[in-house]
């Protein structure tokens, strides 16, 4: 039987690894009959992101297999964190605990500072890296929840953990530093990698990495030029475009205006 301590320790371990974990509970039969449940019926099972059973059981191998498959489907769907379903006549509840989403920003300039502010507004964990200490000072980033790293970009990135909840935004002071950062993170397990720059400049950097042996699949993951096309000009507008794209990738959106379908359906000549 899983204890609250067992569950807490498993959740903490998953959080440290940056991995989601599913808590599967089987509803005692007695609850549906209006009577008290036996403690032995309060069964729970913990399932990891790759489908392995971390601890616990549900008292039925067949229910466990079906519940595990359902848990994997929920884990892969960022829009869903809890689900209740009838499995072989038993009510099963699946809750997914996900690691906190984070944004790693390479570059503490005007755009980097604006991106940090927008990301914190959306409750992302934020880390800002710059090799110039004055650009990652508390005067520029007064929010104590923003982690600041004054170090060489590559060395700093090598010291950070990357998970499926990691989003990288590369907005350094020049294309050479952008390319160094991209080379370091492009094969890491981040959900999102975005790099600022013109189409010409970002295409040149992609070509450099392709010649070095970086796969086409990895290069396609890079959002460059970064952000949705909203005509952004100021650092704050650019940050808004970048975070909008991150949310789109995170939630599975399209980036299209919500009213677009209504416009397409409008009759010719309708005002």
Q: Which two tokens stand for residue 215?
A: 């796969």
Same domain, 115 and 89: no
| Same-domain check for residues 117 and 131 | yes
Please identify, among 71, 97, 123, the residue that sits at the C-terminal boundary of a domain.
Answer: 97
Boundary-marking domain end, from 97, 128, 148: 97
Region of residue 268 (phi > 0: left; psi between -120 and 50: alpha; otherwise: beta): beta
Any idea what the CATH number is for the domain that residue 235 is in? 3.40.50.720
For residues 245 and 131, membership in a common domain is answered with: yes
The tens-digit pLDDT sequence of the chain (271 residues) is 788 898 999 988 888 787 889 999 998 765 555 555 454 567 999 999 888 999 999 989 999 999 999 999 988 877 778 889 999 999 999 999 988 899 999 999 999 999 999 999 999 999 999 999 999 999 999 999 999 999 999 999 999 999 888 999 999 999 999 999 999 999 998 999 999 999 999 999 999 999 999 999 999 999 999 999 999 999 999 999 999 999 999 888 889 888 866 655 555 555 4
State which of 78, 97, 116 marks the end of a domain.
97
Among candidates 125, 122, 230, 123, which has minimal Cα distance to 168? 125
The answer to whether residue 19 is domain-embedded is yes
Does 265 map to a domain?
A: no
- Domains in the chain, number: 2
Question: Do 74 and 110 fall within a single domain?
Answer: no
Task: Specify whether 77 is located in the same domain as 124.
Answer: no
Domain carrying residue 47: 15-97
Assess whether 190 and 173 both reside in one domain.
Answer: yes
User: Under DSSP, is residue 214 helix (H, G, I), strand (E, B) or coil?
Assistant: coil
């Amino acid at each position: 039987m899983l204890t609250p301590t067992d569950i807490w320790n498993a959740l903490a371990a998953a959080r440290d690894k940056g991995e989601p974990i599913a808590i599967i509970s089987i509803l005692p039969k007695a609850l549906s009959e209006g009577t008290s449940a036996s403690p032995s019926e309060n069964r729970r099972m913990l399932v990891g992101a790759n489908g392995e059973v971390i601890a616990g059981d549900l008292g039925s191998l067949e229910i466990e297999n079906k519940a595990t498959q359902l848990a994997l489907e929920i884990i892969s769907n960022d829009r869903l964190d809890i689900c209740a379903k009838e499995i072989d006549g038993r009510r099963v509840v699946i809750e997914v605990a996900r690691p906190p989403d984070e944004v790693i920003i390479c570059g503490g300039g005007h755009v980097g500072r604006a991106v940090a502010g927008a990301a914190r507004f959306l409750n992302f964990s934020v880390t800002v890296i710059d090799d110039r200490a004055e650009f990652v000072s508390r005067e520029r980033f007064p929010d104590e929840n923003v982690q600041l790293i004054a170090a060489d970009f590559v060395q700093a990135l090598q010291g950070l953990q990357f998970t499926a909840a990691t989003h990288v935004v590369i907005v350094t002071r020049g294309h050479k530093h952008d390319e160094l950062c991209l080379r370091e993170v492009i094969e890491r397990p981040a959900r999102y990698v975005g790099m600022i720059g013109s189409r010409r400049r970002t295409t040149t950097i992609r070509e450099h990495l392709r010649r070095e042996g970086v796969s086409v699949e990895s290069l396609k993951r890079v959002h460059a030029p970064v952000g949705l096309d909203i005509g952004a000009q100021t650092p704050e507008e650019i940050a808004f475009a970048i975070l909008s794209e991150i949310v789109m990738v995170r939630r599975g959106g399209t980036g299209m205006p919500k009213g677009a379908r209504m416009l397409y359906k409008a009759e010719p000549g309708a005002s």
